[in-house]
Amino acid sequence: MQQDIRRILIDRHAIQARVHDLARQIALDYGPREFLLMPLLTGSIIFVADLVRQLPVRMKIDVLAVSSYRGATAHGPRVLYPTAFDVAGKHVLVIDDILDSGTTLHTVTGLLRAQNAASVKACVLLKKNLPTPAAFAADYVGFEIPNDFVVGYGLDFNGYYRNLPDIAVLHQHVLERNP
Ligand code: 5GP
Ligand code: MG
């Protein structure tokens, strides 16, 4: 696995320091308001596991599974799980690994608002710097990164590399290799 890495973009220590800051900001902003954390599977699992352990406040966690169908069909992303929401009146904080085009978070937060959540915010570990603005602005962003494909700390390539402790860029020949 290590030999597939071209370079480390953000190392584990920088990630931990930033996760700590994000948690402090979130705790300050919500104050005594109880919130419901909604991590999007699967990419945000490592991030959310670290984040919640830095958030000593009353909360519930409900995961969402979203299909992305990236480029494959005319449909946007769809929520596959749960099939019914219980967010009415709740302060919902959606967690994702990375904000790219923004369509995933745009769709998910729209759905949650339509289900009468009291408030909907979004927190992402990474945001890509794209030539055109994303369809969505997150309330909390860990790091802005160049428009490269990244893996590690929950992010995958063909399902692999999620267990890398750092955020990394793979060698071009690895990205071009057929699964
Ligand atoms: P968006 O809907 O914002 O275009 O896409 C967000 C989703 O695309 C993320 O949740 C993630 O699954 C995937 N994605 C976007 N960029 C990257 C990347 O650089 N690396 C990985 N592993 N996934 C990415
Ligand atoms: Mg994802």
pLDDT at residue 69, rounded to an integer: 65
Give the ligand at the shortest distance from the Cα of 42.
2
pLDDT at residue 106, rounded to an integer: 96
Within a 13 Å sphere around the CA of 116, how many CA atoms are in the beta-carbon half? 4
As given in the structure block, the two tokens for residue 123 are: 């927190």
Contact 104, 134 (CB under 8 A): no
Which one of 48, 67, 97, 147 would you pick to mutate in the ligand 1 pocket, going by the greatest count of ligand atoms within 8 A of its CB? 97
pLDDT at residue 70, rounded to an integer: 60
Helices (H), 90-157: 103-114
- Averaged pLDDT, groups of 10, the chain, 179 residues long: 96 98 98 96 97 95 86 72 91 98 95 96 97 93 97 97 98 89
42 C-beta closer than 6 A to ligand 1: no
Q: Beta partners for 123?
A: 95, 140
156 C-beta closer than 6 A to ligand 1: yes
Q: Beta partners for 94?
A: 38, 122
Q: What is d(CA 128, CA 88) in angstroms, rounded to the nearest whole number? A: 31
pTM, two decimal places: 0.95
For residue 71, what are the CA distances in angstroms to 4, 74, 103, 176? 26, 8, 12, 18
